[in-house]
Amino acid sequence: MKHYEIEQLKMYIEEARIIAFFGGAGVSTESGLPDYRSKDGRYTQMEEQDLDPKKVMSRKYLTEHPKAFFNRPRRNQKEPIPNDAHRMLAEMEQSGKDVRVITQNVDGLHQKAGHRFVLELHGHHRTWYCMACGREYLPEEVKKDQDQIPRCPIDQGIVRPSVVLFGENPNKEVVQKSKETIRASDLMIIAGTSLSVNPARHYIQQFQGKRVVVINDEKIDTGNLDVDLYIEGKVGETLAKLETI
């Protein structure tokens, strides 16, 4: 990234009344979380094991094969903490800037950083719920049976994270609020996402404001949306440079 690009980004942010930050997996990779489609990505690793991510990470697979769903290999990693991307956005908000986050991530790192306006398109892991009765549980409260399947102690229904799986639709209220947020903003920052997932990639077309900025490691297709500034690089590293100007 070039110095003038950071200067331009800072100017856009200072001028903006409402900022919509539309983020994907690349916002959290600097916190040690893998993305999906890179060589070390979650889906890539599944495919290397001859697993179809859209099948294995679906509601249908969870319902029909709960033992396989909950016992698939997972990489050991430390509890992630917010990186400079989450921190900078939260600090902007805390300083009085109207920054509204729309995220495709389920890690809750924006909230951990202190952000108060976060719309989670794909849900989150902060609570789990019973698929039979709907009772909610905290992750540490979840009890597993002999096959390591999380079960509700009341009716023995499968207990699962409050995330959106393949074959499921995002929460209608979250979707509506996300669209309204994008329409209300005059600056939209699209960061750390390939925009390859439906229907989220279509939401950005709701933008009617003044400026669009993309921060990403590679070029992306924004459809009919014109981009005013494209910064090639890591999201946290890019936003942290705003402090140096």
Each residue of 83-119: pLDDT tens digit? 999 999 999 999 999 999 999 999 999 999 999 999 9
The set of catalytic residues is 122
pLDDT in tens, 213-233: 999 998 898 988 999 999 999
* Domains of the chain and any CATH numbers: 3-33+81-122+169-244 (3.40.50.1220)
CA distance 211 to 22: 13
Averaged pLDDT of the chain: 92
Q: CA nearest 199: which of 166, 228, 160?
A: 166
Model confidence at 50: pLDDT above 80: no
- Within the chain, where are the H helices? 3-15, 42-48, 53-56, 59-64, 66-70, 84-94, 109-112, 172-184, 200-203, 235-240
- In angstroms, what CA-CA distances link 215 with 184, 187, 188, 192? 21, 13, 11, 6
Mean pLDDT value across residues 1-30: 96
Model confidence at 42: pLDDT above 80: no
Q: CA nearest 225: which of 244, 239, 208?
A: 208
The pLDDT confidence band at residue 72, using thresholds 50, 70 and 90, is confident
Mean pLDDT value across residues 207-212: 97
The burial class, CB within 10 Å (0-12 / 13-18 / 19+), for 166 is middle
Q: CA nearest 100: which of 121, 123, 80?
A: 121
pLDDT in tens, 24-34: 999 999 999 98
Mean pLDDT value across residues 10-30: 97
Model confidence at 10: pLDDT above 90: yes
Long-range contacts of range 46-50, CB-CB < 8 Å, 24 or more positions apart? Answer: 49/73
Mean pLDDT value across residues 177-195: 96
What's residue 78's pLDDT? Answer: 80
pTM of the model: 0.93
Model confidence at 40: pLDDT above 70: no
| DSSP codes, 168-187 | -PPPHHHHHHHHHHHHH-SE
Q: CA nearest 118: which of 20, 6, 236?
A: 20
